[in-house]
């Protein structure tokens, strides 16, 4: 047996040799030794460390899967903000970006770097003394989640850099799941009776957030790194040089990258990438184009959400042909009948689709799609399946236009299409599909936010007679839920039950929902025309369900015979609430006039669900009084409803549209037209970090440059 000094020397040598061969195998795809020889080196290192446990280091190859399961992901702050990218949806928008860059750069030489846009999940890696010390998700760009234990299991992530990095370094890139690994994972999930992933991007993101690193290790994730957070600290002057440094440091860098001297070179690369996208072993959804020179990047600067020196050229939606087999009609919670196309499964933009909504009968007629047609399908935004139209030349003889059924496919009740509306509705409030839709809506994130009550579980509870209306959620017990048959089976054919752990979490979520603000309850009840914004307005105006009920019983005068519209509106306590009006007020009155709905409200009251708003936090200063905020884009720390509620607690008004009267626009990831409108009107823009500061301190915001 080696003495300690010899063991330490041998462990150091083994780690160096293993790191070299791991880089050759996992990163460069050019192994120098056999798998068995590599395994023997790792095994020997493990034996040395077992004999002398104090010699184990964080960057040891034996520690790739060594952390215990975590119950939570701690926040981690990035060395510099991780910006999202503006998108160019087509060649015209790419050309417009080139023109903006040329205008600012002038006559100076400006090369570009074109990189494939990997369809994965963003990642930031921090190294101190060349050793991996932290890995974080992108989060809001400023603060992400600490996923170090999980990232250590990814073989293409070096635990120790192959070069020196004095003072430490943070690098960024993308973690993704190769296509073959994705197919294998979904096959395993399906065989085990578990839900499959929609696409490799979702699978990679979900695998990164596993509480048990061993599960992440089994998912066969990979990475491509493409950025150094502070390249100047390493003496790097160009993005192309930073990519080369990343390669030498031991990272996997996508080999399909081109330094382009002109915009024509960039266009050529984009065209080539589009042609080759399906031949690659991983998913891409476009090309990222960056100004190569860091000094020019500094001059070009940033908007509130994205660098001006980079653009993501997004590929046009991929289109495939398939055969339309059926048009089925779904019945929603409000009785709305929606036609849904079912077609032969086809792989589009990274996942297999077999269904797409046709929205309404008028849309079916406009597109003239018929059962048996060969149809063109795609994903809008590479996400939502849609039917472009039929290939009329391949239409079978004898096909007939589709027509909406005259009775409900769920309950066989009568169908009515209100005048001036495009959606017909089932008039039977006891319709089974409507009931299921109402129950799912009640538990949804935007309403009572009861986590864990998905469509499968709620449907099984309805089938077994446990749920009839939203109040029944509050009589569910952990014992009953634990034994619930999920409808899936194990390999041996035995049914999969929900289990005690999941059941206990659901019951806890149900209990917590009892104290939610009443706008959530009001929205969850599903009154027609009452979305979350209107529900908040009504809750703010009346403060309790009972007060709203009494107001709804007031019959307003009808305009005419000396009664003006303004007078009638003023006499209606519901319609006079800002943002409501007579149509919504009529819907509110109709809801509370239905005795069945009053029974549900009484059951909720008896179950202990709060029907009264507690108001803002006691003593919370109204420091934002008189200010109007607009929220746009995805926020990482809050839902928009949560952020809006926090701002309102400080006295602010939260609006759904941007105008000259808007005080601030809070911009999250993938912000849309509201962000553009704010820029156009010169409205001050805040990022999520500024929103965090407002909510935490209660202080009015300082403006940011747009």
Contacts of residue 585, defined as CB under 8 A and 6 or more positions apart, other chains included, come to 552, 556, 572, 574, 575
Pick the closest to residue 27 from 232, 217, 251 (CA basis): 251
Pick the closest to residue 651 from 695, 676, 621 (CA basis): 621
Q: Is 660 a catalytic residue?
A: no
Which residue in the list 117, 252, 653, 674 is annotated as catalytic?
117
Contact 610, 518 (CB under 8 A): yes
Instruction: Outline where DSSP puts E strands in 12-91.
Output: 75-77, 87-88
Distance CA 653, CA 447 (A): 20
Structure tokens at 664: 């601030």
Contact 357, 329 (CB under 8 A): no
Residue written as token pair 């003006």: 564
Distance CA 645, CA 615 (A): 11
Structure tokens at 99: 């023109």
DSSP structure string for 500-544: HHHHHHHHHHHHHHTTS-HHHHHHHTT-TT--HHHHHHHHHHHSB
Measured at the CA of 313, the angle between CA 310 and CA 315, to 5 degrees, comes to: 165
Contacts of residue 492, defined as CB under 8 A and 6 or more positions apart, other chains included, come to none
SS3 135: strand
How many other C-beta atoms lie within 10 A of the C-beta of residue 180? Answer: 11
Distance CA 458, CA 474 (A): 13
Residue written as token pair 């549900």: 600
Residue written as token pair 């600290």: 233
CA 134 to chain centroid = 24
Structure tokens at 514: 């009892």
The DSSP call for residue 319 is -
The DSSP call for residue 167 is T
CA 579 to chain centroid = 29
- If 0-12 CB within 10 Å is exposed, 13-18 middle and 19+ buried, where does residue 510 land? buried
β-strand pairing of 121-128 with 131-137:
antiparallel
Active site residue ranges: 117
């Amino acid at each position: 047996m080696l003495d300690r000094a010899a063991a330490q020397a041998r462990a150091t040598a083994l780690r160096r040799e293993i790191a070299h061969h791991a880089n050759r195998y996992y990163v460069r795809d050019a192994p120098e030794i056999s798998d068995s020889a590599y395994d023997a080196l790792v095994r020997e290192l493990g034996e040395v460390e077992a004999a002398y446990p104090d010699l184990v280091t964080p960057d040891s190859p034996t520690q790739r899967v060594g952390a215990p399961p975590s119950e939570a992901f701690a926040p981690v702050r990035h060395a510099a903000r991780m910006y999202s990218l503006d998108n160019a949806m087509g060649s015209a928008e790419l050309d417009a970006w080139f023109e903006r860059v040329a205008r600012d750069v002038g006559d100076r030489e400006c090369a570009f770097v074109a990189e494939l846009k990997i369809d994965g999940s963003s990642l930031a890696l921090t190294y101190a003394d060349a050793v991996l010390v932290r890995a974080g998700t992108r989060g809001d760009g400023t603060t992400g989640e600490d996923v170090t234990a999980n990232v250590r299991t990814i073989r293409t992530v070096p635990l120790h850099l192959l070069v020196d990095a004095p003072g430490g370094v943070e690098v960024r890139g993308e973690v993704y799941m190769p296509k073959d690994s994705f197919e294998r994972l979904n096959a395993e999930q399906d065989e085990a009776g578990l839900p499959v992933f929609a696409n490799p991007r979702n699978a990679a993101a979900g695998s990164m957030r596993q509480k048990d690193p061993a599960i992440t290790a089994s998912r066969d994730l990979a990475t491509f790194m493409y950025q150094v957070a502070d390249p100047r600290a390493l003496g790097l002057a160009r993005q192309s040089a930073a990519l080369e440094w990343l390669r030498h440091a031991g990272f996997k860098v996508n080999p399909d990258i081109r330094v382009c001297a002109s915009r024509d070179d960039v266009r050529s690369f984009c065209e080539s990438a589009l042609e080759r996208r399906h031949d690659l072993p991983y998913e891409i959804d476009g090309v990222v184009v960056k100004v190569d020179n860091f000094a020019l990047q500094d001059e070009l600067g940033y908007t509130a959400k994205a660098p001006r020196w980079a653009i993501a050229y997004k590929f046009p939606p991929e289109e495939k042909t398939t055969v339309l087999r059926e048009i089925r009609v779904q019945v929603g919670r409000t009785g709305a009948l929606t036609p849904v196309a079912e077609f032969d499964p086809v792989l589009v933009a990274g996942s297999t689709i077999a269904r797409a909504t046709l929205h309404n009968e008028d849309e079916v007629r406009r597109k003239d799609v018929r059962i048996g047609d060969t149809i063109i399908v795609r994903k809008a935004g590479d996400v939502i399946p849609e039917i472009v139209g039929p290939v009329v030349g391949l239409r079978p003889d004898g096909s007939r236009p589709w027509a909406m059924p005259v009775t409900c496919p769920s309950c066989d009740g009568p169908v009515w299409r209100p005048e001036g509306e495009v959606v017909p509705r089932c008039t039977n409030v006891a319709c089974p599909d409507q009931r299921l839709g109402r129950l799912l809506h009640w538990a949804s994130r935007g309403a009572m936010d009861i986590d864990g009550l998905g469509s499968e579980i709620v449907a099984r509870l309805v089938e077994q007679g446990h749920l009839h209306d939203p109040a029944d959620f509050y009589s569910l017990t952990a014992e009953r839920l634990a034994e619930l048959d999920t409808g899936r089976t194990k390999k041996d054919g035995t049914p999969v039950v929900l289990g005690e752990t999941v059941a206990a979490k659901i019951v806890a979520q149900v209990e917590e929902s009892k104290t939610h603000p009443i706008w959530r309850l009001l929205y969850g009840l599903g009154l027609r025309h009452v979305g979350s914004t209107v529900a908040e307005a009504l809750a703010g105006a009346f403060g309790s369900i009972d007060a709203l009920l009494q107001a709804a019983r007031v019959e307003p005068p009808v305009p005419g015979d000396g009664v003006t519209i303004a007078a009638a509106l003023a006499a209606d306590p519901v319609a006079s609430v800002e943002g409501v009006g007579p149509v919504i007020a009529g819907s509110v009155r109709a809801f509370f006039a239905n005795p069945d709905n009053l029974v549900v409200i009484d059951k909720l009251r008896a179950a202990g669900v709060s029907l009264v708003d507690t108001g803002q936090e006691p003593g919370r200063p109204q420091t934002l009084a008189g200010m109007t905020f607009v929220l746009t884009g995805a926020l990482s720390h809050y839902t928009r409803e949560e952020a809006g509620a926090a701002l309102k607690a400080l006295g602010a008004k939260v609006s759904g549209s941007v105008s000259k009267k808007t005080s601030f626009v809070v911009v999250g990831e993938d912000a849309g037209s509201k962000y553009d409108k704010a820029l156009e009107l010169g409205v001050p823009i805040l990022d999520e970090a500024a929103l965090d500061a407002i909510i935490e301190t209660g202080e009015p915001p300082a403006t940011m440059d747009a």
